[in-house]
Amino acid sequence: MVGTRSGFTGELAPCGKVVDGEHYRDEDEAGLIIRDKYYRCGCRRILHLYHDGSIHSTSIRHNGTTVKERFSQDHGF
């Protein structure tokens, strides 16, 4: 797996600010998909789709506060 990074401009971050940032994408042939966004303000959005079909999705504000968390039953912490 070799991921790619690309920049984006003017997107709404989890904290409510419109900022630029970087998008990281990676996937393998067996079904794992990673889509993470890193905002210039320090916020993050994480989306991981696993081989078994389960999903982990989290948004984190730049102060460390989790905005939302969704875990499937197979990957719930």
pLDDT tens track, the chain, 77 positions: 578 999 999 999 999 999 999 999 999 888 899 999 999 999 999 999 998 889 989 999 999 999 865 555 554 44
pTM equals 0.77
pLDDT score, position 70: 53
Q: Cα separation of 44 and 12, whole Å? A: 11
Query: How large is the C-alpha radius of gyration of the chain?
Result: 13
Residue 38, strand partner residues: 22, 44
pLDDT score, position 43: 97
pLDDT score, position 15: 93
